[in-house]
Chains A and B, each alone.
Chain A
Amino acid sequence: MFYKPKNALYKTISRRKFLELGGSAAVALGAGSIAVGLNSVITRRPVYAASSDDAKWKQYSGSKLVFMSENTPPSFAIKEKLKVFYDLTGIEVEILTDQLPTVQQKVGIDLRSGKSDFHLNYVQDKPIGSPFADYYADYTPYLTDDTLPQDPEGYGKDVWFENFLDACGHYYSSERLVALPYDAAVACTFYRQDLFEKYSKDFEKDHGYRMEFTADTTWKNLTEFTAFFKKLKESGTDVPYGYAQHHGSFAWTTQLDIQRMMFANGRWQDFSVDDKIGSKTPGPTNWGDKQSVLIMQKYKEHADVCHPDNLANGTIELNSVYQAGKVASQVQYHEFAASIEDEKTSAAAGGKTAYAPCPKGEASWIVNGGQAVNGTNCGIGGIGINGNASDDLKRAAYIFAIWSVSKDNQLEVLKGLGGTPTRKSVLAVPEVAAARKRPTTMPNALTFDAVYDLGIKDPHFVLGPKIPNTNEYHQIMATEAQKLVAGKQSAEECCNSIKAQLDDMHDV
């Protein structure tokens, strides 16, 4: 039935011999894989302060590094450009990307167990930076090391956007710098300008002011816009819901959603500590005070007029809902503008969407005597070096880190995949300045007015809380807020429950 060669392998090798050979090969392959997989490679050529720049870049030629990162545009773009880095330095870099919660777990296990399987990590400020800050290498000595290549722009606070270096680089002390700003996700308002313009007159008849987003639009206004859309929809008009909040499965973004509203109204914060540096002993929380209870009541009132599937929508799902034309506005991270402006996948593309700062606090909602601001928060992703790695591996990792956050790289990522620059100099490029107006080839640049010119600046920017138990804190916040939105508890019960759990967590 089948062709059988005369010298078939099974005829020339005995079964025993075959098993022996197979077994030996399996053992050799297994041992080899383990040896290669568990070992990084480091080779070093000595360099001196007077050495050429080329020698400094190439001093670790032949080495191999692993970078564990979130699946964000810069990482994909840099993955594509690794050949350029290899040609410059001779260092081979493997970039592993995954969803943030997975990155958090893998990186956490690596760092806390004293290992360095990942020499470079994506240090998302609160979920990764706050709990693991002590396990990262301090950049400070490398920044002034003249045997290492350095970025001509430098790394001071003034070269990055306001607050970015503090956001991802400093934890519990301003002495140690554990990450350089690599990418950014800053909140701003995305809204359907076409729908807002279409129904603005009807809205004005009822409320006496125009339905539009400006820097002075408050959370109270937004709740009224949302209620208006809901009323229209219930009367049979074919319109989307007005707004949707960030709940869903990722607790961190739920906490950020609540924080924006809380901070906007009187600059209220969870703990009475320095927001930008954070604290390992934050003390008793402010949850449960009058201001927090009042704003959570307003949060619930807003939730009641939002998209009915509010609790199922995490940040990514919410963006999909907006893309599908099911909500007329959302507060979203500016890195998502590229997906909104993609006509192939978004019903909100083609000039229908406009971008504005996050809503402002409402003066009549402030009982703590604070200021009404456009409460804006973020996720600033840094690139950090594993403190468990050897000195040479850390130095080699530093070379990659400064290359990855260079102006040229950030500009190319912005042009190519829709990156979110962290260096000010990128915005000064004429091409980028022009892209801030339609028509544009860099959709994320449409958000820059709202984000870089207003949102990230004081007094609007809120960063913390940076605390070691940040992930447990996020989960507590998200769960209690979801119970409030689901109608399982009152605003006061919600705030008191958060207070009890946070104080218990901090042994207060």
Chain B
Amino acid sequence: MTDQAINTGAGRPAVSPQAVVDAARPTGVRQIDYRPDAFNPAPSRRFYFLMMTPSIVLLAGISIYPFIWLIYMSLHTVGEAGQPDVWNDFKNFTRFATDGKFQNGWLLLIKYSAMCMVLEVGLGVLLAVILNRSKLEKFLVTIILMPMMMAPIIAGLVWLFLYNGAFGWYHWLLQSIGILGPTSVLGDSDIAMFGLVAVDVWQWTPLITLITLAGLKRVPQDQLEANMVDGAGPLRNFISVALPNIYPFLLIAVLLRFMDNFRFIDAILILTGGGPADATNMLPVYLFDVSFQYFKLGRGAAVALTLLLVTIVLGMVLVKLFEDPRRKIKVHGREEG
């Protein structure tokens, strides 16, 4: 503000406010600079760096060091209890070409993630639209959020009982309505995967609902009303107005769920352990087996590294999609990415 000129009127030159203050000050009086940055000078870059150092060291310790160590392990046959690690000419990686469980693990993981994502986003958005501005919105949201509050391992145990072929309630229900044959959900290699997807959908659809609900609150009412005046029905209104407005929120939700699914293991270990017949042996389960059942840490590190890299790349693709200028949309009259 101090450097901005004030227009004092037509034909007269512009003067700065500081000049006005200087002109009014009696001569001989010590000049005090009252600007805020005079009392609080901008710290140097070195100061910022020093302030950030503890965080950088902590981050390096808990994140960067293990990452470098992971790369190192993936290139070696890791020795145990003081034995030296042995360089193995990328064997941990080259064996992927013939490792059926690794390849099958990827296929199953992609299949599982895709099914979970489609169902969770679809149901989550539907629930959010139904709940939005309903009379019991707060109460119903609280109820719907309950599964999300449960530890995944507990959710796995609960569903293990529900699916049990001897006394499980869902087993009985599904058999009674003719969907299920004599085999239980988790005992049939053709449907066990759907059993796991159901658990994930049950537990994490509320997250999508919650995020979408937050997005729906930002949909401008005037746009909706204008659209309705133009003759749009509820579906057209949702597609043309609501969906573009909640698009950034949905992308965040998809990104969160996608990253979660790629590292998800808790309930799978409880429910199927990767079986039957490898039908649910997704890559994170295989990684767990290799590292902590077979104790082949180098091989496990190579699997983990590929999983990490693919997660990062796919995450970047999603973020890029989020930033794509062609996908920029107008919210409240402003452009938002």
A interface residues (Cβ-Cβ under 8 A, vs B): 101, 104-105, 108-109, 111-114, 131, 135, 247-251, 308-313, 317, 320-321, 324, 326, 388, 469, 471-472, 475, 478-479, 482-483, 485-486, 488, 504
Known contacts A135-B81, A488-B277; is-contact A311 B293 (Cβ 8 Å): no
Could you list 8 further interchain pairs (A-B, Cβ under 8 angstroms) beyond the known A249-B274, A308-B187, A311-B277? Answer: A104-B293, A311-B188, A312-B187, A312-B276, A317-B166, A324-B166, A326-B166, A482-B276
Q: Tell me the dominant secondary structure on chain A's binding face.
A: helix
Bound Cα distance from A379 to B48, whole angstroms: 62
Chain A residues with Cβ under 8 A from B295's Cβ? Answer: 108, 112, 131
Bound Cα distance from A461 to B187, whole angstroms: 31
Chain A residues with Cβ under 8 A from B181's Cβ? Answer: 308
User: Would you call B53 an interface residue if the criterion is a C-beta within 8 Å of the partner chain's C-beta atoms?
Assistant: no
Chain A residues with Cβ under 8 A from B167's Cβ? Answer: 324
Contact B289 A475 (CB under 8 A): yes
Bound Cα distance from A38 to B164, whole angstroms: 40
Closest chain B CB from A212 CB (angstroms): 27
Contact B275 A482 (CB under 8 A): yes
Q: Tell me the dominant secondary structure on chain B's binding face.
A: loop
Residue on A with the closest CB to B171? A309
Contact A469 B294 (CB under 8 A): yes
Bound Cα distance from A475 to B269, whole angstroms: 14
Bound Cα distance from A101 to B274, whole angstroms: 14
Known contacts A112-B81, A114-B82, A479-B275; is-contact A309 B293 (Cβ 8 Å): no
Chain B residues with Cβ under 8 A from A112's Cβ? Answer: 80-81, 295
User: Would you call B266 an interface residue if the criterion is a C-beta within 8 Å of the partner chain's C-beta atoms?
Assistant: no
**Residue in A109, A131, A135, A486 whose beta carbon sits within 8 Å of that of B277 in the complex:** A486
Contact B166 A321 (CB under 8 A): yes
Bound Cα distance from A251 to B285, whole angstroms: 14
Residue on B with the closest CB to A488? B277
User: Which 3 pairs show the lowest CB-CB distances between chains A and B?
Assistant: A312-B187, A249-B273, A308-B182
Residue on B with the closest CB to A326? B166
A-B contact count (CB 8 A): 92
Chain B residues with Cβ under 8 A from A504's Cβ? Answer: 98
Residue on B with the closest CB to A489? B277
User: Would you call B186 an interface residue if the criterion is a C-beta within 8 Å of the partner chain's C-beta atoms?
Assistant: yes
**Residue in B82, B164, B187, B296 whose beta carbon sits within 8 Å of that of A311 in the complex:** B187
**Residue in B81, B165, B281, B292 whose beta carbon sits within 8 Å of that of A309 in the complex:** B165
Contact A472 B293 (CB under 8 A): yes
Chain A residues with Cβ under 8 A from B274's Cβ? Answer: 249
Residue on A with the closest CB to B99? A504
Closest chain B CB from A493 CB (angstroms): 13
A sample of 8 cross-chain residue pairs with beta-carbon separation below 8 angstroms, ordered by A number, consists of A104-B293, A109-B292, A114-B82, A249-B275, A309-B184, A311-B187, A312-B165, A479-B281
Contact B184 A312 (CB under 8 A): yes
Bound Cα distance from A219 to B82, whole angstroms: 48
Known contacts A112-B295, A469-B294; is-contact A311 B80 (Cβ 8 Å): no
Bound Cα distance from A131 to B2, whole angstroms: 76
Contact B80 A488 (CB under 8 A): no
User: Would you call B272 an interface residue if the criterion is a C-beta within 8 Å of the partner chain's C-beta atoms?
Assistant: yes
Bound Cα distance from A109 to B184, whole angstroms: 35
Known contacts A105-B292, A108-B292, A112-B295; is-contact A311 B276 (Cβ 8 Å): yes
Closest chain B CB from A312 CB (angstroms): 3
Chain A residues with Cβ under 8 A from B289's Cβ? Answer: 475
Chain B residues with Cβ under 8 A from A308's Cβ? Answer: 181-183, 187
Contact B81 A111 (CB under 8 A): yes
Closest chain A CB from B24 CB (angstroms): 44
Closest chain A CB from B254 CB (angstroms): 31
Bound Cα distance from A483 to B279, whole angstroms: 9
Known contacts A111-B81, A310-B187, A311-B188; is-contact A471 B293 (Cβ 8 Å): yes
Closest chain A CB from B134 CB (angstroms): 35
Chain B residues with Cβ under 8 A from A321's Cβ? Answer: 165-166
Chain B residues with Cβ under 8 A from A388's Cβ? Answer: 81
Contact B81 A113 (CB under 8 A): yes
Contact A471 B294 (CB under 8 A): yes
Contact A478 B275 (CB under 8 A): yes
Bound Cα distance from A250 to B269, whole angstroms: 10
Q: Which of A309, A388, A483 has the most CB of B within 10 A?
A: A309
Chain B residues with Cβ under 8 A from A324's Cβ? Answer: 166-167
Chain B residues with Cβ under 8 A from A309's Cβ? Answer: 165, 182-184, 187
User: Would you call B311 an interface residue if the criterion is a C-beta within 8 Å of the partner chain's C-beta atoms?
Assistant: no
Chain A residues with Cβ under 8 A from B166's Cβ? Answer: 317, 320-321, 324, 326
Which residues between 240 and 289 of chain B lie within 8 Å of chain A, taking CB atoms? 272-278, 281, 289
Bound Cα distance from A472 to B188, whole angstroms: 23
Bound Cα distance from A317 to B292, whole angstroms: 24
